[in-house]
Amino acid sequence: MATKLEQSSETSAVLKNDIAIMIGGQGGDGTLTVVNLLGRVFRDFGLNIYDARNVLSRIRGGHADGVIRASVKEIHSVGDEIDILVAFDEEAVLAGLSDLSDDAIIVFDSSKGPLSENAKRPGFQIYSGPFGNMAASALRRNIFKNTITFGILGRLIGLEDSMLRKVLTARYERRGKEALESNLKALELGLEFCSKNISGTRYLLPRLPNSNRILSTGNEAAAFGFLASGGRFFIGYPITPATDIMEWLQPRLPKFGGVVKQAEDELAVINMGIGAAYAGARVMVATSGPGQSLMTEGVGHAGEAEVPIVVAECQRVGPSTGEPTKNEQSDINHVVFGSHGEFPRFVIAPGSANECFYLTSMALNLAEKYQLPVFLLLDQALCQNSVSIEPFDIHSIAIDRGKLLSEEALAKLDVYKRYEFTDDGISSRSIPSQEGGQSQVTGNEHNEFGAVSTDRINRLRMMRKRMMKLELAKKDLPKGNNFGPITAKIGIIGFGSTYGPIIESMEQLAAERVEVRFHQIRTIWPLLEDDLHNFIDRLDKVFIVENNYSGQLANLIQRSFPGSDEKIESITKFDGSSFKPKEITGAVLAEIRSNVSA
């Protein structure tokens, strides 16, 4: 049937250590299926992958695309350019146009007509075929066009036909004989198309020894980190891009005696969480900006009542409904400053799926040790993009429940005071069912026993007791990760999903002979001034990279470093997409070169 294409024209094939493929069409075209199939192949090759899905906030229809990148090294970004685009319509080509490399290969479904000239560039290699029509006439369903293109892709990147069949079989055999046969037939149509129309393999991929690497999104990692750290009660309300955390936990927590509760709104979510945490469960809730707006009062309540709770805030484009499925980091001010009144809170920001696991675990400990709300600040790209990483080291988890009293310890006390003044601001905590631990917990200002009080001296002491936690906790909060040579005079600070693009930008800058050091900040509140000083002081210029309009992180850091305005430069992006490494590189080069010429 299909000819052995690989043998006929190996000469034109280029070895790629790093390849990015985009599949685009309308929601419901099965674009993500192709991404998943490719992911399987790349992982079998021992390659690291990173995939990002660009979908609209609707069930079907509208432009949707997915990018999958494979590399010999660990990657945390989609990179700069797309090498191959599979487009099920012209809109998909136009949407991907600015991301395509100059010599990109386009596999275009011409069922609705040929590709217009304005969607073409001189260097593109375009392979058009009526894939949708082919699928409809041979298999009676247009949707099999995605498997046709999977066959074509396989040939273009030098995969053996047998491997393509194996991957399809693995995916479809559980869905019944008919589904499997139809897909295998669609694959043959794709291979036949190649034999007739494409002269050979374009790219060859390296094959590495099988690795034990795992594939995770930040959301999945955070969910597992919660569970493995003794988290048993999760409460949520569906909201993109946070819902995956709830969905990952839903089938798993009950097996550990835990519960996932979907509440009626975020007001209920945070207060149910506070009730359960007060009663002694380890609790996390998750939401995005709009939900956080509703939770803000509750977070302040937890701060005043000293109830430990972790809130995963999965940022998206805001304000209002904004762009639910798009990436932004514009809730820094919201989680650092949001609420009436003043209370201590921590804001922890993981930069990769690995860190989502470990820092969620740490956030739970910090919440209980300091008896306050802890934000886990994530962003859409970090939450939802999949990445190859080292397996989570479950053994490294340490559970610290702080000053949670045992019944024996309570029995030894002459008198128990829930809000007792102590040197470190933290009072012992009893939970209901413990004899002698009865007390009042309240969001009203209160005395040591939890009785409502407006006494002025008491107010001063209680405020200081709570607020001192911010200073005392600094020794326990996660320091930033530093990358790059200590001799560098140029620095970059970023957090969350900008980690991946910044790491790649550093390599690009090194190639331009610009030495750069990168501080991946992991505690956004309270700022660890010493940690930042160590980083910033030895530098001439510091670029703060973040996905928002006003440079919220830069403003926060500048407040702590009076007179640093000259040194600090903002690089912002707020179009709903993540940074490409080259955008950071370009901005840094433009700034330092303009200074040289000036």
Partner 1 sequence: MIKPKDTVVVGGIGCSGSIHNDLECYGIHSLHGRLLPTAIGVKLANPNLTVIAAGGDGDGYAIGAGHFIHALKRNPSILYLVMQNGTYGLTKGQPSPTAVPGYEGNVELPFDAVMTALSIQDTTWIARGFSANQAQLTDLLKKGIQHANALKGFAFLEVLSPCVTYNDTYKEWRERVFDLDTEKTYSPKSRVMAFTRASELLSQGKIPTGLIYTGELKSLEQNSLTSTEPMALQDISLEANLSKYEPLLKDFR
Angle, vertex CA 234, rays to CA 256 and CA 263, nearest 5: 130
Q: List the structure tokens of 37.
A: 């199939």
CB of 224 to partner 1, least distance (A): 6
CB of 397 or CB of 463, closer to partner 1: 397
Contacts of 376 (CB under 8 A, 6+ apart): 222, 284, 310, 311, 312, 313, 348, 349, 350, 356, 359, 360, 363
Question: Least distance to partner 1 from the beta carbon of 167, Å?
Answer: 15
- Per DSSP, what are the bridge partners of residue 517? 491
CA distance 576 to 256: 38
Question: Within 13 Å and on the Cβ side, how many CA atoms surround 387?
Answer: 28
3-state SS record for 206-238? CCCCCCCCEEECHHHHHHHHHHHCCCCEEEECC
Least Cα distance to 522 among 268, 351, 300 occurs for 351
**505 φ, ψ to 5°?**
-65, -35
Q: Is the dihedral of CA 76, 79, 83, 88 positive or negative?
A: positive
Tell me phi and psi for residue 429, to 5 degrees: -120, 125
Q: Which is nearer to partner 1, 273 or 500 (CB)?
A: 273
- Rank residues 401 and 541 by Cβ distance to partner 1 and give the closer one: 401
- Distance from C-alpha of 117 to C-alpha of 266, rounded to nearest angstrom: 49
Tell me the residue ranges of DSSP E strands in 290-355: 309-315, 346-348
Smallest distance, Å, CB 413 to partner 1? 14
Q: Give, for 54, the enclosing helix (H) or strand (E).
A: strand 48-54
The answer to whether 49 and 68 have CB atoms below 8 angstroms apart is: yes
Task: Kindly state the smallest distance separating residue 23's Cβ from partner 1, in Å.
Answer: 22
Beta bridge partners of 374: 310, 346
Task: Name the residue nearer to partner 1 (CB basis): 43 or 517.
Answer: 43
Which of 231/581 has CB closer to partner 1?
231
CB of 476 to partner 1, least distance (A): 19
CB of 283 to partner 1, least distance (A): 8
Q: In this structure, what token pair is assigned to residue 597?
A: 């010429």
Which helix (H) or strand (E) is 386 found in, with range?
strand 386-389
CA quadruple 87, 91, 92, 97: dihedral positive or negative?
positive
Minimum distance from residue 183 beta carbon to partner 1 (Å): 22
Dist CA 259 CA 232 (whole Å): 6
Nearer to partner 1, 232 or 466 (CB): 232
> Shortest Cβ distance from residue 280 to partner 1 (Å)?
3
Q: Which amino acid is at 320?
A: S
In this structure, the strands spanning 523-525 and 346-348 are antiparallel
Closer Cβ to partner 1, 433 or 597, answer by number: 433
Which of residues 437 and 478 has its CB atom nearest to partner 1 in the complex?
437
Name which of 108 and 233 has its Cβ closer to partner 1: 233
Residue closer to partner 1 by CB (options 204, 431) is 431
- Which residues face 262 on adjacent strands? 236
Shortest separation between residue 194's beta carbon and partner 1, angstroms? 30
User: CA 344 to CA 468: how far, in whole Å?
Assistant: 8
Torsion of CA 485, 486, 490, 495, to 10 degrees: 80
What's the min distance (Å) between Cβ of 254 and partner 1? 4
Residue bearing tokens 């790059």:
484
How far, in Å, CA of 80 to CA of 547, rounded?
17
Q: How far is the CB of 293 from partner 1 (least distance, A)?
A: 15
| Residue 143 C-beta: closest distance to partner 1, Å | 27
| Phi and psi torsions of 178, nearest 5° | -65, -45
Q: How far is the CB of 436 from partner 1 (least distance, A)?
A: 8
Nearer CB in complex with partner 1: 320/433: 433
Q: Which residues bind partner 1 (CB under 8 A)?
A: 214-216, 220, 224, 227-230, 232-233, 235, 252, 254-259, 261, 263-265, 267-269, 271-283, 297-298, 301, 305, 391-392, 394-395, 397-399, 431-444, 450-452
CB atoms closer than 10 angstroms to residue 396: 10
Nearer to partner 1 (CB atom), residue 277 or residue 376:
277
Which is closer to partner 1, CB of 92 or CB of 269?
269
